[in-house]
Amino acid sequence: MEPIEHTHLTQEEDFIPWEAALKGFLYLENMIKRTAGWGDLRAYMLQALEPLFDRLGFQERPGEPFLDEKLRIGMLAVLCRLGHTECSETSSQLLEDWMALPNPDSENPIPTSLRSTVLCTGISRGDVTHWDFLWQRYLASNNANEKNNILSALSCSSEVWLLQRYLDMSISESSGVRRQDGYRVIVGVSKNINGRNIAWDWIRANWGALSEYYDTAISSSIGRIISAVAADFNTEFELMELEAFIEEHESELGTARRDAEVMVQGAKANVGWMASHYQTILDWLPAKKTRTQRPQRRHRRT
């Protein structure tokens, strides 16, 4: 894989090339975010996206092209994950604004198209007060899409104990998490860099209760869970752990057996990618970094 050319990308404005770039960024992020090279990659990605943010901003603009709106949604998802100052602070403020409303179940100041990003970012930067507020909105909502968005956002917390509690809730219908939605909790926590290892340890420690709760003979939930937690495995040690887990529980995997086999192949491919490309990208990044990072421009909220 050839690294994305920085100078060309910063001049690009069209949706299609940026859509491809954002997908490429996501894979690079998943492979490198737990390595020593993450700081350089994060700085590069922020610099590459800054001109696009300068053009599109955070808020939707009247009469703008539909593809600009789509591009903003994808751009902000990446920028907020990277900790971009305005993206993060605006998201947190929007969540605070919602919490301050007298009737939050009938009013919501967060733009519908940005709710996934805003809520995830606000919860990741917040504390138990923010988490509990959003949980109450989940319980009060009758909208399936909204409930799914909230479940995913709650898994974005940076508090280890909240993530642990949330995982325990996923196998207890009395907790308020519906049985058919429990896998969303585990998948969400596994995608959180703070929760990834917590989720993997929790799955192995609670395998008996987990496989019984979701009935591996007929449910697709276990396959989805394994696919999510192992998606970014990219070391020989992680591959060994995954293979050992599958061998130990092969007779219990049921319909998830095929998913588990696919994830082993995926992990092997990731290990190979790291061996072939990781150092090349690390050597390439410093040459593309500017001597001083551009200050992040602030756009007044409307």
Q: What is the pLDDT of residues 110-152, one digit of tens each?
A: 999 999 999 999 999 999 999 999 999 999 999 999 999 999 9
- Separation between Cα atoms, residue 271 and residue 241, nearest integer Å: 13
Q: Domains of the chain by range and CATH?
A: 1-82 (no CATH), 101-154 (no CATH), 155-277 (1.25.50.20)
pLDDT score for 286 = 75
Asked whether residue 292 carries a pLDDT value surpassing 50, the answer given is no
Average pLDDT, the chain: 90
- Separation between Cα atoms, residue 103 and residue 101, nearest integer Å: 5
**154, 165, 252, 158: which is closest to 204 by C-alpha?**
252
Let me know: does 118 contact 99? Beta carbons within 8 Å: no
Q: How many CA atoms lie within 13 A of 85 on its CB side?
A: 9
Distances in Å between the Cα of 159 and the Cα atoms of 84, 108, 123, 297 are: 20, 25, 10, 30
- Separation between Cα atoms, residue 232 and residue 107, nearest integer Å: 38
Let me know: does 98 contact 110? Beta carbons within 8 Å: yes
State the sign of the Cα–Cα–Cα–Cα dihedral 170, 176, 181, 185: negative
Q: Tell me how far apart the 2 most distant CA atoms of the chain are, in Å.
A: 58
**Predicted model pTM:** 0.89
pLDDT in tens, 59-71: 988 888 899 999 9
Backbone angles phi, psi at 120, to 5 degrees: -60, -45
DSSP codes joined into one string, 41-100: HHHHHHHHHHHHHHHH-SS--TT--HHHHHHHHHHHHHHHHHT-HHHHHHHHHHHHHHHH
DSSP codes joined into one string, 77-89: HHHHHHT-HHHHH
Asked whether residue 14 carries a pLDDT value surpassing 70, the answer given is yes
- Separation between Cα atoms, residue 221 and residue 179, nearest integer Å: 10
Let me know: does 74 contact 18? Beta carbons within 8 Å: yes
Which one-letter DSSP state was computed for residue 147?
A: H
pLDDT in tens, 74-101: 999 999 999 999 999 999 999 999 999 9
**For residue 34, what is the enclosing H or E element?**
none
Cα separation of the two ends of the chain: 41
pLDDT in tens, 169-220: 999 989 999 999 999 999 999 999 999 999 999 999 999 999 889 887 667 8
Asked whether residue 294 carries a pLDDT value surpassing 80, the answer given is no
Determine the average pLDDT of the residues in 266-287. Answer: 93
Asked whether residue 50 carries a pLDDT value surpassing 60, the answer given is yes
pLDDT score for 61 = 86
